Amino acid sequence: MTKTKNETISKQTYIRLINKTEDYIEQHLKEPLSLKDLANNAHLSEFHFHRIFKRYSTETVNEFVTRFKIERAAIFLCVSPDTSITTVAMDYGYNDSSSFSRTFKRHFGASPLKYRKQQESSRSARWFME
């Protein structure tokens, strides 16, 4: 019985740690983030941090950071239509627009430019219907 209680406490602690890490990632979204940086922030070894993160978040650290950045970049693309794709790519930590575009297309199924146009069309259609 004590073991189960300790496991529950550990699980809750690790989930809080994952949430804290997600907050840290969001605050440093436009900076390069390494496993070492995130593990140091959590006061854990890289190995232990990676294992815990994967266990309690269902994604690896790298998958989470990539998804989080690309989803935030997609929002920025839509709310800042005059900002170039290259600028958005650089702002979200990509070294060039081609790697950003590949990652973006893999995640959303459309290039950043096509996605932006689809979102603008969708907003225009909703506005027109109202």
Instruction: Give the separation between CA 86 and CA 64, rounded to whole angstroms.
Output: 22
pTM of the prediction? Answer: 0.79
What separation, in Å, do the N-terminal and C-terminal C-alpha atoms of the chain show? 59
Lowest mean pLDDT among 1-10, 42-51, 96-105: 1-10
Residue 30: DSSP 8-state: T
Count of residues in the chain: 130
Instruction: Give the separation between CA 112 and CA 24, rounded to whole angstroms.
Output: 26
Contact between 20 and 42 under an 8 Å Cβ cutoff? The reply is yes
Protein fold of 65-129: Arc Repressor Mutant, subunit A (1.10.10)
Higher-confidence position of 103 and 127: 103
Instruction: State the pLDDT confidence band at 108, using cuts at 50, 70 and 90.
Output: very high
What are the residue ranges spanned by the domains of the chain? Answer: 2-58, 65-129
Instruction: State the pLDDT confidence band at 32, using cuts at 50, 70 and 90.
Output: confident
> Rounded to 5, what percent of the chain is helix, strand, coil?
80, 0, 20
pLDDT at 9: 60
